[in-house]
A and B are shown apart, each in its own frame.
Chain A
Amino acid sequence: MLDKLLSESLYNAVFSAVSENQVSELRLRAGKPIAYACMGEYYTIKDCIVTAEDIERAIGMATGHSVYATNDSIARGFLVCGAGYRLGICGEGVMKDGKLFTLKNVTSLCIRLPHEVKGCCEKLQDLLKNTANTLIISPPGLGKTTMLRECARILSQDKNVLVLDERGELIPVDEGKIAVETGDMCDVACNIPKITAYETLVRTMRPDVIITDEVFGAREVDAICDISRCGVVVFASLHARGINEVYASEIYRPLLQVMRYFVVLEEVGKVGAIYDRGQADA
């Protein structure tokens, strides 16, 4: 997919130095050198300048040259293509009826590359065996999504797992097929706003476990609290630097009441600490 998104010169400049498996993110900024992230560090290739045409090409390929078909997603600041490649888009907003309608004159792209890292949940084995509400906490880029993907793979081997993948990157679906390895009991709802999915699919799909990425805002927190009251186990992730930040936030504090395990990532793919509220309560 990347060889289609990027022009030949950009692709060769990056991937002659590193392999796709090593790169987690690419940054394209018009008029600036291309940058990539590898094991949490950013590198730029000074003599490889990104042009406006490069950005236009990437958007064209990601939308299938059909912006009209993906405008809702663009207005939310991202595009998803292929097997879970997510393009964060930054440009000039166009407002309509007081809402962001679309983006034009795009100047920057942040391309996130999906990865499957089997075994990244080794430290979570007890937690997965108990299958209780779990919140994975870390700043962006440390591997929350990769860890949740692995949780989904393991849990869906013997439990009905419903993955609510709002941005199409947690369990990527490419042309109607799940593009990563999952267990036999995995259902994926992609590109549906979380709240809508919570309201409808919990009843219709009757999952044992719901896995969802990046909880954001009071409405989503309320929905998670409601779901866990229904007896469905929730695995979710949250952007924060630690459990104290969650506690300090009025919006996210209710999660501390419904989640049992808190997994805090400290470095890329490395579990810093696991808190078990069950033990703490005892």
Chain B
Amino acid sequence: MTGGKQMLELILGGVLFACCAYTGMGIRAYYRKRKEMFEQYAGYLDYLQEDIGFLKTPLVECTREYCKGKKGEFIKILSRYCSMLEEGKVSREDFDELFSSPYIEKRYRKELSYVFYGLGKVDADTQTENLRKARAAAETPLNFYKKKYETTGTLAFKLGVVLGIAAMILAA
């Protein structure tokens, strides 16, 4: 009887630990995705600047080339962006909807929507200049999310593990 109870407590402790650690990992993954999203956004702007400055490749082709072999939330957005352009869905509302991702805070959604809405509407010189400005503006959220990941994300993971151990001890 006692052996069975101990086994149950052990399993309960294990489950509690797994739940807490998993939550911690989930929170850390959330912050990592937000960081990665802005890293890829910044990378995309760099790529566009270089390509438009020299080769003037059309947007869809250029974007697909950038996405090749890459994964992540921002790459999914870019893929949807290409489909939107091909279908001619290019209203402000379409762009606002494109960036309604949970990984982008509301204050940055408008900014990204504005940058993408303006892509491909001007000559190469103006376009590269606009991209340079957008790239400079992307530094703020990029640094913010990097810091958030390193602090809050890592802390959440560690806290999850510690809480899990504590819960396991208490359950035992």
Partner of A60 from B56, B88, B123 at Cβ < 8 Å: B88
Cβ-neighbour of A68 out of B52, B88, B90 (below 8 A): B52
* CB contact between A67 and one of B61, B90, B122 (< 8 Å): that residue: B122
Does A230 interact with chain B (Cβ within 8 Å)? no
Give the secondary structure class of B's interface.
loop
Are A68 and B60 touching (Cβ within 8 A)? no
Give A173 to B90 CA distance when docked, in angstroms: 27
Asked if B58 contacts A67 (CB within 8 A), the reply is no
* Assembly CA distance A69 to B90 (angstroms): 18
Given contacts A57-B90, A60-B88, contact A66 B123 (CB under 8 A): no
Query: Are B120 and A63 in touch, CB under 8 angstroms?
Result: yes
Closest residue of chain B to A101, judged by CB? B123
- Shortest Cβ gap from A101 to chain B (Å): 7
Residues of B within 8 A of A60 (CB): 85, 88, 90, 120-121
Distance in angstroms between the alpha carbons of A61 and B88 in the assembled complex: 7
Q: B7 at the A/B interface (Cβ < 8 Å)? A: no
Instruction: Using known A-B contacts A4-B88, A57-B88, A60-B90, determine if residue A65 contacts B123 with beta carbons closer than 8 Å.
Output: no
| Docked pose: A64 CA to B58 CA in angstroms | 6
| A67 touching B123, Cβ below 8 Å | yes
B124 interfacial contact with A, CB 8 Å? yes
A71→B124 contact, CB < 8 A: yes
Interface presence of A182 (CB below 8 A): no
A156 interface residue per 8 A CB criterion: no
B6 at the interface (CB under 8 A from A): no
| Chain A residues whose CB sits within 8 angstroms of the CB of B56 once the complex forms | 66, 68-69
Interface residues on B, range: 10 to 19
- B113: interface (CB < 8 Å): no
Residues 159-216 (chain A) with a chain B CB within 8 angstroms: none
A102 within 8 A of B: yes
Q: How far is the CA of A67 from the CA of B125 in the complex (A)?
A: 11
Residues of A with C-beta under 8 A to B88: 4, 7, 57, 60-61
- CB of B119 within 8 Å of the partner chain: yes
Give A8 Cβ to nearest chain B Cβ, in Å. 10
Complex interface bits, A1-34 against B, C-beta within 8 A gives 1, otherwise 0 = 0001001000000000000000000000000000
**B119 contacts which chain A residues (CB < 8 A)?**
65
Cβ–Cβ contact B120 & A66, under 8 A: yes
Q: Decide if B100 is an interface residue (CB 8 Å cutoff).
A: no
CB of B127 within 8 Å of the partner chain? yes
Q: CB of B138 within 8 A of chain A?
A: no
A sample of 24 cross-chain residue pairs with beta-carbon separation below 8 angstroms, ordered by A number, consists of A7-B88, A53-B91, A57-B88, A57-B90, A63-B58, A64-B58, A64-B59, A64-B60, A64-B120, A65-B85, A65-B90, A65-B119, A65-B121, A66-B56, A66-B57, A66-B58, A67-B122, A68-B52, A68-B56, A68-B124, A68-B127, A69-B58, A69-B124, A71-B124
- Shortest beta-carbon contacts, A-B, top 6: A64-B58, A68-B124, A66-B58, A65-B120, A71-B123, A69-B56
In the complex, besides A64-B59, A67-B122, 8 extra interface pairs with C-beta distance below 8 angstroms are: A56-B90, A61-B88, A64-B58, A64-B61, A66-B58, A66-B59, A68-B52, A69-B58
B residues in contact (CB < 8 Å) with A: 52, 56-61, 85, 88, 90-91, 119-124, 127
